[in-house]
Chain A
Amino acid sequence: NAGVMQNPRHLVRRRGQEARLRCSPMKGHSHVYWYRQLPEEGLKFMVYLQKENIIDESGMPKERFSAEFPKEGPSILRIQQVVRGDSAAYFCASSPPGQGRQVHEQYFGPGTRLTVT
């Protein structure tokens, strides 16, 4: 069973360009989470999605950032008009469907390191 896959692993964008980060969850996982890790800091939650639904986007900046998890294909985190402050490592995690309030571990991908020049 392949782990969580993220691509690209490294992404360089100039200020004002768009960045698209992709996440393929583990097989059978229908929950996806995106986290951002700024240099020398811990991971900060951005958004939680289930197939075709955004469940919690309380950590997502209101402008320029969007996320989707379509019925088919990977989850996409999209950053429009990137600025230098967007430079960070972006991690995706996935978990299987819950059984009522059962909570499963989140399995993390290797991350995408975004550099804005």
Chain B
Amino acid sequence: AQTVTQSQPEMSVQEAETVTLSCTYDTSESDYYLFWYKQPPSRQMILVIRQEAYKQQNATENRFSVNFQKAAKSFSLKISDSQLGDAAMYFCAYRSRAGGTSYGKLTFGQGTILTVHP
């Protein structure tokens, strides 16, 4: 079974600064997706960015980028030019790309609460 670990329960950053959230995962599969989701106080889950394991290039979405280290099974999220609206709980998630009935589910980490100071 796959596991996802976020070792930082809380992080904080000054507005306009950069912050990196850590995520490690364990899997025996070689083909999978990784995601970062944001959950603001409204509790709505919002997809921030996704990475396909077979792609070596790190994904980027505007101010959000990832550092994907497949051999180390590490998938960190970097938020540049942090804004007050970035304050939320951030979840790292894994999804298998292999066949079979279990490929649909997302496996989430425990989450990291990000506080942005003005």
Contact = CB atoms under 8 A, between A and B. Distances in A.
A106 B106 contact: yes
A111 interface: yes
Contacts, number: 61
A111 B42 CA distance: 10
Range, interface on chain B: 20 to 34
A41 B110 contact: yes
Nearest to A91: B45
B102 A56 contact: yes
B91 A110 contact: no
Contacts of A110: 42-44
A56 B101 contact: yes
B103 A45 contact: no
Range, interface on chain A: 20 to 34
Most buried by A among B37, B102, B105: B105
A56 B111 contact: no
Given A42-B91, A48-B105, A103 B110 contact: no
A101 interface: yes
A89 interface: yes
Given A105-B50, A110-B43, A111-B43, A42 B109 contact: yes
A29 to B, nearest CB: 12
Interface string A20-58: 000000000001010100000111110010000001101
A43 B42 contact: no
